[in-house]
Structure 1
Amino acid sequence: METLPLELHALIVEYACTDDGATARSLALVSRYVHDVATPFLFQSLAVSGLHQMTELVVRLEALPPRARRIRHLFLSDWTHKDVIKMQKQCAPTSFLEMERYDAERAFAGRILQHAAPTLETLALVVACPYTAPPLVGQLFALPLPRLQGLAIDGFYPFPHTRSVLPRLERLHLSGNRNPYGLLQLGALEAACPQLSYLRISGLDAAPAFARELHSALFPQPLSGGIELSSSFSFPSALPVRLRELRVEVCRPRECPVRQSHPTGRQRAHSQRAPHKSGHEKMMETLREVVRRRAETRLGNVEVVEGDREDTFGEMRREWLRGD
């Protein structure tokens, strides 16, 4: 320790403190000297979830001058992992006290984002409360984020549209909107994220309209194989100019139990007609054509993956820690 200058110690601590904040807090307890070296990096990388942790962080941040609030990497969730798993099995309660808590969660999360925005480089935002997600994500997209390069959002998100609000963003992962129809229209994504090179859209569920929108953005001609574009496409769709990788993740449809019954004459006649395609089938038909024709696009890689996402909170947190 004594043979290295202070600036090298600071550099070592900076590279070491890229987890959820535990390393910086532990280093600050080693000695007075190490505490002084680690102090500028106490907020460099943080994982915060739930109202209690958000409240504590806001109190600490607002007691510091702006120069001491340098948050570079942030995982932020309005609910704890335990609460997210619990609420997956039931609807969010809407009692007066619960709604007050949701408002408090949104307010504290918004204040954290506001404090972090000037220095933030990577952000994973999980908004599990359905009443909180649209306004909180909308607030995020209205903030100037001059340094943000990687963004992952899980929650019912609105679309970024403010011009150059994310001027350096290169990687974007959006999850939680089952049918994000409109995301690619009017060049809004290009305007908000001019440097975007990687786009991942997760959680699609019976979204034929978005699949057609994506197809229209990649191939501005009629679909082949008898697939027709809807006449409702009144606005042009386009992908960001610098985009090189696209990954679309689709929820596998859940199987419903089949009820055994004796069909009536009308039901037998109906069953002999051409089978009606479900929303999932229509979506997958269009997405499969996108994959088949990916060589015709300017993108280096186009993937469509079908699967189940049981624990989005845990997945988002792990990917954030890995720097994905």
Structure 2
Amino acid sequence: MDALPIELVEQILGLACADAGRTMCALRSTSRSLRAACDPFRFHTVAVTTHRQITAFLAAFTQSSPPAQASVRHLFVVICGFSIEPGNQILRATARTVETLALVCTARYKGLPAHDALLQTAFPRLVALTVRYRAIYLHAVMARSPPAPVPTLPRLRYLHVAPTDTASLGFAQTCIFVFARCAGPRLLRVRISRVRGTETLSEALEEVLGLRPGRGVLPPLPTGIRYFILDLYWRYGAVQNVVETLETLERRAAEERAIHLRVLHEIRPAGKTPVDWEEEWLRVQTGEVDMRAEWLEDHGERLVAAT
């Protein structure tokens, strides 16, 4: 490696850092010169899923060089009951440079994991955010999160919120509103998972989309969002006439509001596990799947066109 041009070494290291840090750790132990060359890529792509990994990463990060600390671009974090504060510290420490963030909260306690770090810390470069929370915690976030004087997520374009519990459309809309007021005008694509399918869903969705006069119960879809994906969960199976009405709404939203509405129907009662989320995230980082696949345009068959 010492005989290779530095430009080629940097290209190799850039390709080697997409597996959540495994290859980078191996390369850094090869030689002193390679260890130094790895510094600007050291934390480029990181996944921490246990309390032990979170505390180990936090210790390594705080002791690393400034180039290494500035290398964080893609981050996957699972926050459990024992790792709430260390997890918050990681979010705050990496907020300046991280571009994509997947946050999975599995904590079951009376407080609110990652509340302050996620909604009250500025993430100036964050483009894509995926959040998996228990719905009750997200309700608490909404109730106690005043709007920031300036957007804390100014470059956010992709947002995916996935409660571990099924949630009503009203909850989903309030959730979008909270994150949208933290984002700037670039937020274009929103996905909400685990929305509870009901027989009155189509009427409520019409109000949200501005396709019928509102009653002031549900907040409208924020201005600027052009791709809106709902993952519905039907406890006793989808109601056929509602499904047909939702398909009609997809066409009306595109024609009358220029909104690409896509309604998907979940088949797993329990939703995805943290392991499922990590596997999907790793497939994106290694290039096997396009990042935009999480914000599908057409029922999982086409990717959203780049803007």
Please tell me the TM-score bracket, short chain as reference: 0.7 to 0.9
What is the alpha-carbon distance in structure 2 between the residues aligned to residue 282 and residue 237 of structure 1? Answer: 24
SS at match of 2:194: strand
The answer as to 2:181 corresponding to 1:191 is: yes
The answer as to 2:261 corresponding to 1:302 is: yes
4+ long deviations beyond 6 Å: 207-211, 280-283
Change (3 A) 1:32 1:46: same
What is the alpha-carbon distance in structure 1 between the residues aligned to residue 114 and residue 186 of structure 2? Answer: 23
The answer as to 2:272 corresponding to 1:311 is: yes
1:85 corresponding residue in structure 2: none
Change (3 A) 1:67 1:39: closer
SS at match of 2:64: coil
What is the alpha-carbon distance in structure 1 between the residues aligned to residue 115 and residue 240 of structure 2? Answer: 30
Aligned residue runs from structure 1 range 77-226, under 5 A: 77-79=78-80, 102=81, 104-131=82-109, 134-156=112-134, 157=138, 158-159=141-142, 161-162=147-148, 163-176=150-163, 178-179=167-168, 181=170, 184=173, 188-193=178-183, 194-206=185-197, 214-222=205-213
CA contact (8 A) 1:133 1:155 kept: no
CA contact (8 A) 1:218 1:239 kept: no
What is the alpha-carbon distance in structure 2 between the residues aligned to residue 167 and residue 281 of structure 1? Answer: 40
Change (3 A) 1:210 1:147: farther
Change (3 A) 1:137 1:246: same
CA contact (8 A) 1:184 1:238 kept: yes
Q: Deviations over 1:155-185 (max 9, x none)?
A: 1234585341111111111100612625546
The answer as to 2:69 corresponding to 1:69 is: yes
2:299 corresponding residue in structure 1: none
Change (3 A) 1:30 1:145: same
1:6 corresponding residue in structure 2: 6
Paired letter, 1:308: I
Residue among 246, 250, 265 paired with 2:232: 250
Change (3 A) 1:132 1:123: farther
Q: CA deviation at 1:26?
A: 1.6
What is the alpha-carbon distance in structure 1 between the residues aligned to residue 152 and residue 199 of structure 2? Answer: 29
CA contact (8 A) 2:169 2:196 kept: no
CA contact (8 A) 2:198 2:234 kept: no
The answer as to 2:281 corresponding to 1:320 is: yes
**Which moved further from structure 2: 28-37 or 52-61?**
28-37
2:295 corresponding residue in structure 1: none
SS at match of 2:170: coil
Structure 2-normalised TM-score?
0.74
**Which moved further from structure 2: 135-144 or 154-163?**
154-163
2:303 corresponding residue in structure 1: none
CA contact (8 A) 2:231 2:266 kept: yes
CA contact (8 A) 2:157 2:187 kept: yes
CA contact (8 A) 1:127 1:154 kept: yes
Q: Percent identity?
A: 28
Paired letter, 1:221: R
Residue among 216, 221, 233 paired with 1:238: 221
What is the alpha-carbon distance in structure 2 between the residues aligned to residue 175 and residue 9 of structure 1? Answer: 39
CA contact (8 A) 1:217 1:239 kept: no
Change (3 A) 1:21 1:290: same
Structure 1-normalised TM-score?
0.71
Larger Rg: 1
What is the alpha-carbon distance in structure 2 between the residues aligned to residue 123 and residue 237 of structure 1? Answer: 26
2:59 corresponding residue in structure 1: 59
What is the alpha-carbon distance in structure 1 between the residues aligned to residue 199 and residue 132 of structure 2? Answer: 21
**Which moved further from structure 2: 194-203 or 109-118?**
194-203
SS at match of 1:202: strand
Gaps of 5+ in 1: 80-101, 223-228, 256-277
